[in-house]
């Protein structure tokens, strides 16, 4: 027989209560099964079947889901109960009868009006007194100070001539002085003529005194003649200005348009010299797309917060006009009284070539060459790099050795506590040492470089042991690099060196002298009145390797 197993099954019906029924389930095991061949009858087993309904879950369609993102959530401000003011009770007074009051119409005139009226009616009286007697003292002869040439002044010089016999006074007037002549020295230094006029104004129509805090925008008109192109010289001039104003070297960009307009994305001026070189004859409205104009406009409007540097637009008149109107947004505002022109950027500097001859002379003088090089058919854009390379050769010739005339020339680079010096500064120091020996006859034993004196170091110190007139001369090399106000640096040199030394010589590189020529001559005028001839200023003749005195 099979084994019977009782199992309790819990059945859940649709009713709200639970019922339990005992269901007997019979399971047949192999031992209880009998085959039909044996003829054994099996008793059928009744099985009870319970029908359990299948519950099918029903899913309802969800409602629409919306998402709202709040970018910033500001907490409510704390409520201040003290700000609540209760509404005061309004009390209306009983209306009274309204009547009119008489108004006095008498007008009093201010006392100042009566005073002005009295002044205007009475004209002022002018009294002339008899002048004091005028006397004239006649000097038999007039001599200029030794070593001072009156032709060195760039202003009209009046030279009085006193006659001995008759007492009549005559005079002659020099109305034009074109050249400054270097003062002669005992060492037979050749005379070099320096231009007295402002060569920058002669060449470009303006000076180069623009040294503001922020960037400088320059609109430079490109000459029609290719041989008079000056952008390569202008870039080098701006680099030297940057080295003086900031120190170090600026980042350089030279973008040729309309050939490579994509580089306009990097347009800037801070700590840079960015040149946009436009091809003459091309029309910007045809060659440049709207995206390029937009890029230029956006970058130019970002200049207001950049540091010192230069942005140069170099092209013909049509291109520069397009830049002013489309890029700078130049407009004219007209009122009843006047009209003004305003733009989206700060003021810019306009440059154009006035005199090719003056520009050629300027390029030569800028690198210390006072005799024009006769190079056949050379363009100005090639002349500037050529002369610069010659100047670099001059500098390098004094940096290849540390001994001049058998004596070592120390450098501030290797003095503890000293910030160091540039190669140009070291080269000019060695150059001065050499010139003192060869041109001025000073013994090398009487010359010291990097001479310590208290808290300062004198670049070149000369101690002349002369029984009749002993001299000690302090010589300072001033490149002006990193000096925002060169005049203050020169004044510091004077006040600190002349406190203990009889003379001060200041030697300037050619580029620094030309860039700050007006300031240098103002400094010379100041020292001549206060220190007389104790201060002398020199620059360098690179070609002849000579010192040129400019004071």
CATH of the domain at 347: 3.40.50
The reply to whether 426 and 290 lie within a common domain is no
Any bridge partners for residue 160, and if so which? 171
Q: What is the residue range of 443's domain?
A: 405-549
Read off the pLDDT of each residue in 498-524 and give the average, rounded to a whole number. 90
Tokens standing for residue 334: 């007209």
Out of 289, 324, 354, a domain closes at: 354
Q: How far is 371 from 352, CA to CA, in rounded Å?
A: 25
| Structural domain contains residue 312 | yes
Q: How confident is the model at residue 56 (pLDDT cuts 50, 70, 90)?
A: confident
In this prediction the pTM is: 0.62
| Structural domain contains residue 296 | yes
The reply to whether 346 and 426 lie within a common domain is no
**Residue 530: CATH number of its domain:** 3.40.1350
Rg for the chain (alpha carbons), in Å?
48
Read off the DSSP letter of residue 151: G
**CA atoms in the 13 A half-sphere facing the CB of 398:** 25
| Structural domain contains residue 27 | no
Angle between helix 380-399 and 423-438 (nearest 10): 70
Q: Look at 30-34, 91-95, 292-296 and tell me which has the smallest mean pLDDT.
A: 30-34
Task: Find out whether 210 and 348 touch, Cβ atoms under 8 Å.
Answer: no
Nearest to residue 324, comparing CAs of 337, 315, 335? 315
Give the DSSP per-residue string, 23-89.
EEEE---GGG---GGGT---PPPP------------PPPPPP------S--PPPPPP-GGG--PPPP
Task: Find out whether 392 and 241 touch, Cβ atoms under 8 Å.
Answer: no
Q: How far is 286 from 279, CA to CA, in rounded Å?
A: 13
| Structural domain contains residue 409 | yes
Q: Look at 78-82, 440-444, 545-549 and tell me which has the smallest mean pLDDT.
A: 78-82
Q: How many domains does the chain have?
A: 2
Q: Looking at the predicted structure, is the pLDDT value of residue 16 above 50?
A: no
The reply to whether 423 and 332 lie within a common domain is no
For the stretch 378-421, pLDDT in tens is 899 999 999 999 999 999 998 876 666 666 666 655 444 445 67
Residue with more model confidence, 142 or 349: 349
The reply to whether 215 and 344 lie within a common domain is yes
Q: How far is 217 from 274, CA to CA, in rounded Å?
A: 10
Of the spans 149-163, 181-195, 290-304, which averages the highest pLDDT? 290-304
Cα dist. 348→9, 198, 328, 351 in Å? 100, 21, 10, 10
Nearest to residue 310, comparing CAs of 356, 363, 243? 243
| Structural domain contains residue 451 | yes
Q: Look at 26-30, 92-96, 389-393 and tell me which has the smallest mean pLDDT.
A: 26-30
For the stretch 220-260, pLDDT in tens is 999 999 999 999 999 999 999 999 888 889 999 999 999 88
| Structural domain contains residue 156 | no
Percent of the chain at pLDDT exceeding 90: 33
For the stretch 172-230, pLDDT in tens is 322 232 333 333 344 444 344 455 555 566 667 665 555 567 899 999 999 999 999 99
The reply to whether 243 and 349 lie within a common domain is yes
Tokens standing for residue 111: 């006392």
The reply to whether 328 and 205 lie within a common domain is yes
The reply to whether 416 and 344 lie within a common domain is no
Residue with more model confidence, 87 or 524: 524
Task: Find out whether 494 and 535 touch, Cβ atoms under 8 Å.
Answer: yes
**Within 10 Å of residue 256's Cβ, how many Cβ atoms?**
13
The reply to whether 531 and 423 lie within a common domain is yes
| Structural domain contains residue 255 | yes
Residue with more model confidence, 121 or 188: 121
CA atoms 259, 261, 263, 266: torsion sign: positive
Q: How far is 127 from 119, CA to CA, in rounded Å?
A: 18
> Is the bond into 528 cis (omega within 30 degrees of 0)?
no
The reply to whether 218 and 349 lie within a common domain is yes
Q: How far is 411 from 446, CA to CA, in rounded Å?
A: 18
For the stretch 427-466, pLDDT in tens is 999 999 999 999 998 888 899 988 888 888 899 999 877 6
**CA atoms in the 13 A half-sphere facing the CB of 279:** 13
Burial class (CB in 10 A: 0-12, 13-18, 19+), 26: middle
The reply to whether 350 and 410 lie within a common domain is no
Read off the pLDDT of each residue in 471-482 and give the average, rounded to a whole number. 90
**Within 10 Å of residue 497's Cβ, how many Cβ atoms?**
24
The reply to whether 205 and 280 lie within a common domain is yes
User: Does an H or E element contain 160, and which?
Assistant: strand 157-162
Out of 354, 385, 415, a domain closes at: 354
Q: How far is 47 from 223, CA to CA, in rounded Å?
A: 117
CA atoms 314, 318, 324, 327: torsion sign: negative
pLDDT of 370 reads 85
| Structural domain contains residue 17 | no
Strands (E), 206-329: 216-221, 251-257, 272-278, 310-315
Out of 334, 354, 374, a domain closes at: 354
The reply to whether 545 and 439 lie within a common domain is yes
Any bridge partners for residue 57, and if so which? none
pLDDT of 184 reads 37
Tokens standing for residue 432: 């001065």
CA angle 195/198/202 to nearest 5° reads 105
Q: How many residues does the chain have?
A: 551
């Amino acid at each position: 027989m099979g084994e019977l197993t009782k199992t309790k099954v819990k059945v859940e019906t649709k009713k709200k209560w639970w019922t339990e029924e005992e269901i007997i389930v019979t399971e047949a095991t192999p031992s209880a099964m009998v085959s039909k061949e044996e003829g054994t009858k099996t008793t059928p087993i009744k099985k009870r079947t319970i029908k359990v309904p299948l519950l099918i879950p029903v899913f309802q369609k969800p409602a629409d889901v919306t998402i709202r993102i709040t970018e910033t959530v500001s907490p409510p401000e704390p409520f201040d109960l003290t700000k609540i003011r209760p509404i005061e009770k309004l009390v209306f007074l009983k209306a009274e009868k309204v009547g009119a009051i008489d108004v006095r119409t008498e007008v009093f005139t201010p006392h100042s009006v009566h005073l002005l009226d009295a002044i205007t009616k009475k004209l002022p009286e002018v009294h002339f007194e008899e002048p004091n007697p005028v006397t004239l003292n006649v000097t038999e002869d007039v001599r200029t100070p030794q070593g001072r040439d009156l032709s060195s002044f760039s202003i009209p010089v009046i030279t009085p001539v006193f006659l001995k016999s008759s007492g009549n006074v005559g005079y002659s007037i020099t109305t034009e002085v074109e050249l400054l002549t270097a003062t002669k020295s005992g060492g037979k230094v050749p005379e070099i003529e320096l231009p007295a006029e402002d060569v920058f104004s002669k060449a470009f129509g303006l000076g180069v005194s623009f040294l503001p805090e922020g960037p400088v925008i320059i609109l430079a008109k490109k000459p029609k003649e290719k041989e008079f192109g000056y952008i390569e010289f202008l870039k080098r001039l701006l680099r030297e200005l940057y080295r003086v104003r900031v120190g170090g070297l600026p980042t350089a960009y030279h973008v040729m348009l309309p050939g490579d307009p994509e580089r306009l994305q990097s347009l800037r001026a801070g700590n840079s010299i960015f040149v946009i070189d436009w091809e003459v004859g091309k029309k910007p409205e045809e060659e440049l797309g709207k995206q390029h104009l937009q890029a230029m406009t956006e970058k130019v409007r970002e200049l207001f917060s950049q540091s010192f540097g230069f942005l140069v637009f170099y092209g013909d008149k049509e291109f520069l006009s397009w830049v002013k109107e489309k890029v700078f947004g130049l407009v004219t505002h007209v009122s009843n009284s006047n009209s003004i022109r305003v733009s989206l950027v700060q003021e810019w500097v306009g440059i154009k070539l006035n005199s090719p001859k003056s520009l050629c002379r300027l390029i030569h003088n800028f690198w210390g060459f006072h005799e024009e090089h006769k190079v056949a058919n050379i363009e100005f854009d090639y002349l500037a790099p050529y002369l610069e390379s010659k100047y670099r050769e001059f500098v390098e010739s004094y940096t290849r050795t540390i001994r001049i005339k058998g004596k070592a020339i120390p450098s501030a680079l290797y003095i503890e506590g000293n910030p160091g010096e540039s190669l140009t500064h070291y080269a000019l120091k060695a150059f001065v040492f050499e010139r003192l020996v060869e041109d001025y006859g000073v013994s090398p034993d009487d010359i010291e470089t990097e001479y310590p004196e208290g808290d300062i170091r004198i670049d070149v110190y000369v101690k002349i042991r002369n029984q009749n007139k002993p001299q000690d001369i302090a010589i300072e090399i001033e490149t002006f690099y990193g000096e925002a106000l060169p005049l203050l640096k020169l004044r510091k040199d004077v006040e600190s060196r002349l406190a203990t030394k009889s003379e001060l010589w200041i030697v300037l590189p050619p580029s620094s002298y030309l860039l700050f020529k007006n300031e240098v001559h103002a400094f010379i005028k100041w020292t001549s009145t206060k220190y007389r001839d104790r201060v002398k200023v020199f620059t360098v003749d690179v070609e002849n390797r000579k010192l040129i005195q400019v004071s």
